[in-house]
Amino acid sequence: MVNEVIDEVSTVNTTQAGVKAKSDLRVLVVGGGSWGTTVAHLAAHNGTTLLWARDEAVVDAINTEHRNPRYLPSFELHPRLRATTDLQAAAAETDLLIMGVPTGAFRETCAKIAETIRPWVPVVSLAKGFEPETGYRMTQIVEQVLPDRPIGVLTGPNLAKEIMAGSPTAAVIAISEQNIAARLQRVFMTRTFRVFLHHDVIGCEVGGALKNVYAIAAGVVEGRGLGDNARAAIITRGLAELIELGSRMGGEALTLAGLAGMGDLVATCVSPQSRNSQVGRKLGEGLTIEEVLAGMDQVAEGVKAAKVVHDLAQRFELFMPIASQVYAVCHEGSDPDFAEDALLRGRLGHEQSPFEV
């Protein structure tokens, strides 16, 4: 049924969108981690999909065994999914570019793609974070490096292993051009992966970036054994901070209370699969941030995002005690006592009072 829907794209003039019917659709997913591989697997259900990865062993395994042995060893990938290490050749032939690399490599990778990608090919970002040096969102980087094309994000409470296992999942695709969003929506949908449309690119992107910071906080509470009451309070007050800052950055409050904000926050805070909550739990158990990061083979974006959020809170003159404590723990070596600090010793007032300092 999904394949039949994707064919409807051919009945609409999508010259600038670069989207074709199923038989011609060429999707390139850049990034061979767990999330990039999962999205490539979804897209392969609906059209010709190519995954770019740096690791030749991963590429060979996807092409010969239909598995990603490094990040998703227990799951079989769609048999039509192919992989490559030749980024520029793949970019030259794609009709839809999906960027799934970490934030630290995002600009450099876009610059390489810019040498060969055709004009008007849409770009969808999967990355949930900020550029460490500038604090830019990923779509802002795309606008600078790959300008004059539709740009959007795919986000939501999307844990890769659950999606690969076929568990019911909801996501949103946000692109300002809603006619293009409606057609790209079909690229990702399967029987169990449902994709809603959204117009608020900034809100959807900011929600996905900010929630990682609060997942670290919730993980610390769990690691220190402070109980479900404390964790629920951290998640809820974290959501309030997320909505306040996200709104100041140009997102809509309702967006941040939806799948891209609250939904993603809850999944990331409570799931043992979340890298950011894992960081928090290890910190709560007494490890240093250096020890935690040394033991990880994938990027925990919340650590880098904490610095950006700290700077943004100062710029907008916002009182954000939870985010401030995460920054202090991750970047200043402070003891992770922020559950007590933020909840018991922080200033009190009306729960919905403004966040100004």
Q: What would the pLDDT profile of 98-110 be if each residue is shown by its tens digit?
A: 999 999 999 999 9
pLDDT in tens, 279-311: 999 999 999 999 999 998 888 899 999 999 999
pTM (2 decimals)?
0.89
Q: Is the pLDDT of residue 2 over 60?
A: no
Q: Does position 196 have pLDDT exceeding 90, yes or no?
A: yes
φ, ψ of residue 191 in degrees (nearest 5)? -60, -30
What are the Cα distances from residue 142, in Å, to 68, 171, 261? 27, 21, 22
Q: Report CA Rg, the chain.
A: 20
- Dihedral angle computed from the Cα positions of residues 187, 189, 191 and 195, in that order, rounded to the nearest 10 degrees: -170
How would you write 310-341 as a 3-class SS string? HHHHHHCCECCHHHHHHHHHHHHCCCCCHHHH
- For the chain, the structural domain boundaries read 2-199, 208-343
SS3 (DSSP) at 258? coil
Q: How far apart are the first and last CA of the chain?
A: 53
What pLDDT, on the 0 to 100 scale, is given for residue 21? 40
Look-up of token digits 């043992």: 272
pLDDT, tens digit, 9 for 90 and up, residues 80-102 = 999 999 999 999 999 999 999 99
Percent helix, strand and coil across the chain, each to the nearest 5:
50, 10, 35
Secondary structure (H, E, C), 221-252: HHHCCCCHHHHHHHHHHHHHHHHHHHHHCCCC
The answer to whether the CB of 118 falls within 8 A of the CB of 18 is yes
Asked, colleague to colleague, whether 2-199 and 208-343 share their fold, the answer is no
Annotated active-site positions, please? 211
CA-to-CA distance for 285 and 293, rounded, in angstroms? 14
Tokens representing residue 2 in the block: 């999904």
Strands 123-125 and 96-99: parallel
223-226 long-range contacts, CB within 8 A, separation 24+: 223/280, 223/281, 223/282, 223/283, 223/284, 223/285, 223/336, 224/284, 224/285, 224/336, 224/339, 225/284, 226/339
* CATH T-level topology, domain 2-199: Rossmann fold (3.40.50)
| Domain 208-343 part of CATH 2.40.128.20 | no
- Count CB-CB contacts under 10 A for residue 139: 23
Q: How confident is the model at residue 5 (pLDDT cuts 50, 70, 90)?
A: very low
**Residue 9 has what DSSP assignment?**
G
